[in-house]
Every structure is written in C-alpha cells, then in structure tokens.
C-alpha cells in the first residue's frame, strides 16, 4: 500500500479526518491507514468508528497495531521521550 493512503491524526476536529478517510476511499483506494501518536490515539479510534458507523458501513478494520516511537529530547543532552503510536488499517 502506498503511503498516500495514510491519514495522520493531529489537532484538528474528528470530522476533518473522517472526511479525509472518505475522500481516499472515494478516490478508489482499497485500504486506508489511520495513524496517530500520543494523545491523538483516542481521536484516531473516534475517526475510525465514525467512518464505519455513520458513513461507510462496508469498511472493516483489517488490522490494528500499536508501538512506541522514541523522540529526541528538545534540550541538548536530555534523555529521549517515548510516545505511543497506533496504526489502524481500514479495508473497503
């Protein structure tokens, strides 16, 4: 799957990302990858649930993966910070 099918969840409202997912599916994609880090993880689940339940009932959750990204410290010599990640693959 090409990376252009990824929807990265950030600080915008849930419906912005719902629309992004729908647009990718309507463009002919068979899969969409919803990705988030840290506090946005909850929003990623909201996005997927709204897409499936309200707009595209044929879409299934194919796979959910979680992990940890290590971020370099902002201060010089500081220790790196860990942030949790989620990747939810939706399939049409």
Q: How far is the CB of 88 from a second copy (least distance, A)?
A: 7
| Shortest spacing between CB 48 and a second copy, in angstroms | 6
CB neighbours of residue 65 within 10 Å: 11
Could you say which residues in the range 1-30 bind a second copy, by CB under 8 A?
Answer: none
**8 Å CB contact between 70 and 42:** no
* Dihedral sign computed on CA atoms, order 54, 27, 87, 82: negative
**72's tokens:** 């370099």
**Rule CB under 8 A: which of 25-54 touch a second copy?**
38-42, 45-46, 48-49, 53
| 56 lines the binding site for a second copy (CB under 8 A) | no
């Amino acid at each position: 799957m090409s990376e252009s099918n990824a929807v990265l969840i950030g600080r915008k409202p849930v419906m912005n990302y719902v629309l992004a997912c729908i647009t990718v599916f309507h463009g002919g994609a068979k899969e969409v990858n919803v990705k988030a880090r840290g506090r946005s993880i909850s929003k990623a689940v909201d996005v997927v649930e709204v897409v499936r339940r309200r707009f595209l009932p044929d879409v299934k959750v194919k796979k959910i993966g979680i992990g940890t990204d290590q971020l370099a410290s902002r201060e010089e010599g500081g220790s790196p910070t860990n942030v949790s990640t989620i990747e939810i693959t939706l399939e049409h």
